[in-house]
Amino acid sequence: MRLLVVGGDAAGMTAASHVRRERPDTDVVVVERGPYTSYSMCGIPYYVGGEVDAAADLVAKTPEAFRAMGIAVHLRTEAVSVDVAARTVRVRDLEHGGERDEPYDLLLLATGAHPLPKPLPGLAEYGHVVHTLDEGEHLRRHLDAQRDVRRVVVVGAGYIGMEIAEALVRRGMSATLLDRSPQVLNSLDPDMAAIVERVLREFGVQVRLGEELLEVRGDPGCALCSSVVTDCGEYDADTVVLAMGGKPNLAVARTAGCEVGPSGGLVVDPQMRTTVPGIWAAGDCVESVDLVAGLRRNVQLGTHANKQGKVAGFSLVDAMDGGTGDGDAAFPGVVGTAVTKVCDWEIARCGLGERDAAEAGIAYATVAFEGTARAAYMPDPGVVHVKMMAERGTGRILGAQLVGTGNVAKRIDVAATWCHLGVTAQQAQLFDLSSSRRWTCIRRCSARPFRFRAGEAAHRPEGPGAAPARA
C-alpha cells in the first residue's frame, strides 16, 4: 500500500505522520516543491524583520526528522498532473531536472495556496512575493544585501502585509502599505480596522488605502526599482513586497478532475475526501464549512491545515484497512478565528463580521465598547476595543472582534467556542468566566454587550441564563 502526499507543510506532513505511525507497513511518500517541510508561515514576517534569526527556526520538523520516521520526502519536487486511471502523479525534479511518475494507491493533495499577482509592468522584476519560507528567505537576503533599500512598498494590507510593514519600520526603513480596499484587514469591520490603521500610522507605517498598484518602474538590470505607480500617483520605492492573499493551488487537482467549489477551494467531505475516489485533500487548498454562516469558505490557516491533516490521516488509515474511509474523525468546520499582532496591539476576530452577516442574510445586532485589559485599578491596565454580534431574534452569538494592548488576543477563543456551539448572548453572560483578579475584558465581553433586556437580541426562546445544554 502506497500513500502519496503532494505538499510537505502542515496538512500533508500531519497526515503522512499519522498514517506512518498507525500503519508502519505502508509506504508514505511526500513530494514538496520547496526546500522545507512543516514550517510556520506566520513567522515569516518576524524572520524578514530579524526578530527571528534563522529560517530554520521556523521549521517545526525537518525533512530529516520525517525521513527518520520512515517517510520518503522528496524536496524541490513539483507535482504536475494526476493520471487517475493509472494511479500515478507526474512530478518534476526542480533541482536536477527531469520528470517521473510516482505511483499511489491513495493520494492526498495538500498543495496549499499562493498569491497570483496580476501581470503588471515591472512586477515580475521587482516584486517580492512573501508566502513561502524560501520566498521569505529571498526577501531577507535581498534586504540584507541591498543596503540602499530605504523605501519599501508593501502591497496588501492583510495580516502578513501589516506584519511585514511593521518589521520593515523596525529595520529602519520607510514602509508604505498599499491596498485597493478602503480599509486594512478586510476580515475586521471597518470601525475596528480603523483602530488598527491608526496604530500602524502612529508606528510610522504609511498607509495608502483605496489605491491600486498599476506599475513598478526601474532601470533595466538594477536590483532595486525606482518607483511604483498607482491610480492615485507615483511614489519613490526601492523594493516592492507582494503580500496579497493566496489562491488555492489547484493545477494538479484539476488534472485529476476534483471538483472546485464556489469559494475557489477543493470540495471535500468531513473526512477530507475530494469528489474523486482515492484522492483526499487538506489545508489551504480546500473549502470548509463556515459553521456560523452555514456556507463554505476557503480559509488559509495552519490551525485548520493541522486538524484537516489529522482527520485525513484517520480517513486514509480506514481506507487502507479496507473501510469506506469514514475513519474515526470528522472535520467540523470553521468559525473564522484569527489573531495577529501589530506593534504592541493584538487583534483577534472570530465568526461573522457585519459584511459576512449581511451577505449570509442573517439579521444581526452589534455592540461595541472599550474596556481595560486588566482591572482598571491596576497600573497600566491596557485598553481593549471589543465588538460583538448576535443574531436578532435568537440572540445566537455570531462573532467577536478585539483590538487591544496587553496580550488579549487569545481571549477570542471563548467567543470562538460560543460560535461553534451556537451559544446565545443571554447564556454567555452568565457563564462562569474568570475575572476580578487583574483581568477583565472577555467577561465584560459577555456581561456588557447584550444586556438581559437588549431589545435587539431579546427574543431568547430559552430565556436568558437558561441552564446551558449539556452534551
Chain residues 45-84 in contact with a copy of itself, contact rule CB under 8 A: 46, 51-52, 57-58
Catalytic hit among 42, 222, 232, 419: 42
Give the binding range for a copy of itself (CB under 8 A) out of 122-130, 150-158, 204-212, 335-343.
335-343
Q: Which of 7, 34, 43, 325 binds a copy of itself (CB under 8 A)?
A: 43
Q: Which of 71, 350, 365, 388 binds a copy of itself (CB under 8 A)?
A: 350
Number of residues written out for the chain: 471
Q: In whole angstroms, what is the distance from residue 467 CA to residue 432 CA?
A: 12
Q: Which of 332, 344, 358, 369 binds a copy of itself (CB under 8 A)?
A: 332
Phi/psi for 119 (5° steps) reads -75, 65
End-to-end, the C-alpha distance of the chain in Å comes to 39
Considering just the CA atoms, what is the radius of gyration of the chain in Å? 24
Q: How far apart are CB 4 and a copy of itself at their closest, in Å?
A: 23
Return the residues of window 115-144 that contact a copy of itself according to CB under 8 A: none
Count the neighbouring beta carbons within 10 Å of the beta carbon of residue 463. 11
What b/e string do you get for 196-205 counting C-beta neighbours within 10 Å, with b at 16 or more? bbebbeebeb
Q: How far apart are CB 248 and a copy of itself at their closest, in Å?
A: 19
Q: Does 467 bind a copy of itself (CB under 8 A)?
A: yes
Return the residues of window 373-392 that contact a copy of itself according to CB under 8 A: 375, 377-379
Task: State which residue, 143 or 408, has the beta carbon closest to a copy of itself.
Answer: 408
Q: Does 450 bind a copy of itself (CB under 8 A)?
A: no
Q: Does 433 bind a copy of itself (CB under 8 A)?
A: yes
Q: How far apart are CB 44 and a copy of itself at their closest, in Å?
A: 10
Strand 295-297, strand 338-342: pairing:
unpaired
Handedness of CA 214, 220, 221, 224 (dihedral sign): negative
Distance of alpha carbon 20 from the chain centroid: 27
Identify which of 11, 24, 6, 95 has the alpha carbon closest to the alpha carbon of residue 60. 11
Give the binding range for a copy of itself (CB under 8 A) out of 107-115, 148-156, 235-243, 337-345.
337-345
Q: Does 231 bind a copy of itself (CB under 8 A)?
A: no
Q: Does 340 bind a copy of itself (CB under 8 A)?
A: yes
Q: Does 183 bind a copy of itself (CB under 8 A)?
A: no
Answer yes or no: are the C-beta atoms of 316 and 26 closer than 8 Å: no
Cα distances (angstroms) measured from residue 267 to each of 217, 405, 462: 40, 39, 36
Catalytic, 232? Answer no
State the cell numbers at 469: 445544554
Answer yes or no: are the C-beta atoms of 159 and 185 closer than 8 Å: yes
Q: Which of 261, 399, 406, 449 binds a copy of itself (CB under 8 A)?
A: 406
Count the neighbouring beta carbons within 10 Å of the beta carbon of residue 464. 19
Q: Does 468 bind a copy of itself (CB under 8 A)?
A: yes
Q: Which of 247, 420, 448, 459 binds a copy of itself (CB under 8 A)?
A: 420
Answer yes or no: are the C-beta atoms of 15 and 82 closer than 8 Å: no
Q: Which of 65, 431, 454, 456 binds a copy of itself (CB under 8 A)?
A: 431
Q: Does 427 bind a copy of itself (CB under 8 A)?
A: yes
State the cell numbers at 265: 477551494
Give the binding range for a copy of itself (CB under 8 A) out of 139-147, 176-184, 243-251, 442-450.
442-450
Return the residues of window 287-316 that contact a copy of itself according to CB under 8 A: 291, 301-304, 306-307, 310-311, 314
Q: Which of 142, 208, 341, 448 binds a copy of itself (CB under 8 A)?
A: 341
Q: Which of 159, 345, 364, 450 binds a copy of itself (CB under 8 A)?
A: 159
Cα distances (angstroms) measured from residue 333 to each of 128, 149, 310, 311: 33, 43, 14, 12
Q: In whole angstroms, what is the distance from residue 458 CA to residue 365 CA?
A: 10
Query: Which residues are marked as active site?
Result: 42
